């Protein structure tokens, strides 16, 4: 199991979170069907693309592990139950979708 302690700035962001006011960062991707070689972009293809690139940055497959009694900063540890579909969601605009 890989373990890496949070850096000072990362720990600071974690500790500044307040209940009801999380310090989260998210992303939005818009896929244009007309730019796809097959004329369609399937969610399965998007998941496969993300899956094929996960090894480039191991941090995306990790979770935080607290140190008992908060005696030290938390550590990043490998998430043995990592579920890509929990992190990458498919939401489509209703028609006309513009």
Tell me the per-residue pLDDT of 44-76, one tens digit each, with 9 for 90 and over: 999 999 999 999 988 889 999 999 998 999 999
Number of domains in the chain: 1
| Distance (Å, whole) CA 47 – CA 41 | 11
Structural domain includes residue 66: yes
pLDDT in tens, 19-36: 778 777 888 888 888 888
Give the residue from 84, 80, 77 showing the smallest Cα distance to 54: 84
Instruction: Tell me what pLDDT residue 66 has.
Output: 92
In angstroms, what CA-CA distances link 81 with 62, 65, 77, 78? 10, 14, 12, 9
- Conformation bin of residue 34: beta by default, left when phi > 0, alpha when psi is -120 to 50: alpha
**pTM for the model:** 0.69
Structural domain includes residue 18: no
Residues 6+ apart with CB under 8 A from 45: none
Structural domain includes residue 46: yes
Instruction: Tell me what pLDDT residue 94 has.
Output: 84
Q: Which domain holds residue 64?
A: 1-10+30-98
Please report which confidence band the pLDDT of residue 18 belongs to, taking 50, 70 and 90 as the band edges. Answer: confident
């Amino acid at each position: 199991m890989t373990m890496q302690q949070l850096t000072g700035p990362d720990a600071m962001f974690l500790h500044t979170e307040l209940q009801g006011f999380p310090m989260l960062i998210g992303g939005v991707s818009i896929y244009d069907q007309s730019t796809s070689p097959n004329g369609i972009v399937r969610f399965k293809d998007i998941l496969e693309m993300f899956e094929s690139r996960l090894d480039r940055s191991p941090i995306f497959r990790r979770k935080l592990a607290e140190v008992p009694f908060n005696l030290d900063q938390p550590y990043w540890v490998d998430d043995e139950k990592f579920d890509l579909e929990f992190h990458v969601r498919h939401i489509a605009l209703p028609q006309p979708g513009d």
